[in-house]
Every structure is written in structure tokens, then in C-alpha cells.
């Protein structure tokens, strides 16, 4: 799928304030700093579309993007941001769970996991929660360009994450290997989205 149009629609503090839409929607979620905004920019081919930062906790609201006039990408604020108050964390959980469970046109969530670092407890907890709330999701391994040792090094890191998740689940959802630096995974992710969009269009006829 070619991206011919990508534009920022707006930032919203809660599900209730999000614009109503019947277009298929895909959301990026994952630990703070995992690379959600970077992935969005890489996929759309628009460098500054979503704000990227070295400081975790950059994205704090639900950020909507219009893609090709027919579907949406949503950049969600990350979890696991250490310097956050309990009140704010609670508000985040409420906002995210409300969005994930009640957004009617949300087709699939992309849970991003940093493949450069060992499996993180908070990611495992989040994936376990995703499984419990029955929201369709796939996994995207990010920052694979940072891993040393070529394909072997990359596979070793990913295997470690998979093994951790497989302690809780018999099988894992679809997974994508990505790097926003060298555009790894772009074609696979866009074609996955395209297939779902086509399927939905067909069902609506």
C-alpha cells in the first residue's frame, strides 16, 4: 500500500473527546520511549508527523492521524514512564482501557516491544492484560537496528521476549520485526493493514 496522504487530525485527552469516525483505526501502544511515534513516522514516510523525543513520556494524549483519506493511525501515550505520579498513572490506565475497549472502529492494536533490551516485566503484564480484555492485537519488535550480531543477534533477543510471553500464553499473535531507522518491517505492516482495510470494506458492502 502506498501512503499518498498523512495528516495530523488532533490530540484528545480522553475517548469521549475523540472524533467520531467509521474508518478503520489502528493504534500504537507500548512502553514509553519504545518507538511508537517513530514507527508512525516511518510507516507514513513523514518524519515530523508524530513528535519523537529522547525524553520518555513525550506523547501524553490520544493523537489522531488521517491516512490516505480512508483510515486512521492513533499514537497513544506510553506506559511505564517512571517519573509519573500515581494519580496520573491511574488516569492513563483509565484513558487507555476506555479507548481500547470502547472505540468501535478500532480494528487492531499494535503493541510495540523494544527488541534491543531484555524482556521487561511491565510489557509482559501489559500483554497479559491485552489478552484478558480480548482486544485484537499484534506485536511489533522495535529498534532492531541497534542489536549487534546481525540476524542471529536479533533472533536471540526476540526469542527471549517470546519465551517470556509463552510462560503465560500457548500461542502468540502475529509479530512484526521493525526498525524505524532502516525502515525494516514497513512493507509487512502496511500490507497487514491494507489486507484488514480491504476485508472490512468487503464486509461493509
Ligand X SMILES: Nc1nc2c(ncn2[C@@H]2O[C@H](COP(=O)(O)OP(=O)(O)OP(=O)(O)O)[C@@H](O)[C@H]2O)c(=O)[nH]1
Which listed option, ligand X, Mg ion, none, makes contact with residue 17 (CB within 5 to 8 Å by class)? none
Residue 48 CB burial class (10 angstroms; 0-12, 13-18, ≥19)? exposed
Q: Does 63 bind Mg ion (CB under 5 A)?
A: no
46 binds, among ligand X, Mg ion, none (CB under 5 to 8 A by kind): none
Q: Please name which of 101, 105, 104, 106 lies closest in space to residue 129, comparing C-alpha atoms.
A: 101
Q: How far is Cα of residue 150 from the mean position of the Cα atoms in its chain?
A: 25
> How many amino acids of this chain bind Mg ion (CB under 5 A)?
4
Phi-psi domain of 132 (left: phi exceeds 0; alpha: psi -120 through 50; beta: other): alpha
Report residue 78: phi and psi, to 5°. -80, 165
Contact region for Mg ion (CB under 5 A) — 23-31, 36-44, 64-72, 101-109? Answer: 36-44
CA dist 14 and 33 (Å) reads: 21
The residues binding ligand X (CB under 6 A) are 30, 32-38, 52-54, 56-59, 77-78, 142-143, 145-146, 179-181
Question: Binding Mg ion by CB under 5 A: which of 37, 44, 142, 180?
Answer: 37
Check residue 59 for interaction with Mg ion (CB under 5 A): yes
Q: Which residues bind Mg ion (CB under 5 A)?
A: 36-37, 58-59
Amino acid at each position: 500500500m502506498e501512503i499518498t496522504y498523512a495528516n495530523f487530525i488532533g490530540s484528545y485527552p480522553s475517548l469521549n473527546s475523540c472524533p467520531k469516525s467509521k474508518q478503520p483505526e489502528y493504534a500504537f501502544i507500548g512502553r514509553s520511549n519504545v518507538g511508537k511515534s517513530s514507527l508512525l513516522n516511518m510507516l507514513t514516510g513523514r518524519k515530523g508527523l508524530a513528535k519523537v523525543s529522547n525524553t520518555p513520556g513525550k506523547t501524553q494524549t490520544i493523537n489522531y492521524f488521517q491516512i490516505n483519506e480512508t483510515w486512521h493511525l492513533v499514537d497513544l501515550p506510553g506506559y511505564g514512564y517512571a517519573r509519573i505520579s500515581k494519580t496520573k498513572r491511574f488516569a492513563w490506565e483509565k484513558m487507555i482501557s476506555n479507548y481500547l475497549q470502547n472505540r468501535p472502529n478500532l480494528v487492531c492494536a499494535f503493541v510495540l516491544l523494544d527488541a534491543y533490551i531484555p524482556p521487561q516485566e511491565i510489557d509482559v503484564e501489559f500483554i497479559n492484560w491485552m489478552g484478558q480484555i480480548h482486544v485484537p492485537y499484534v506485536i511489533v519488535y522495535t529498534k532492531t537496528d541497534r542489536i549487534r550480531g546481525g540476524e542471529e543477534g536479533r533472533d536471540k533477543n526476540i526469542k527471549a521476549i517470546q519465551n517470556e510471553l509463552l510462560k503465560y500464553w500457548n500461542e502468540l499473535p502475529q509479530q512484526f520485526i521493525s526498525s524505524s531507522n532502516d525502515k525494516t518491517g514497513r512493507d509487512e505492516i502496511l500490507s497487514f493493514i491494507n489486507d484488514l482495510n480491504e476485508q472490512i470494506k468487503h464486509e461493509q458492502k
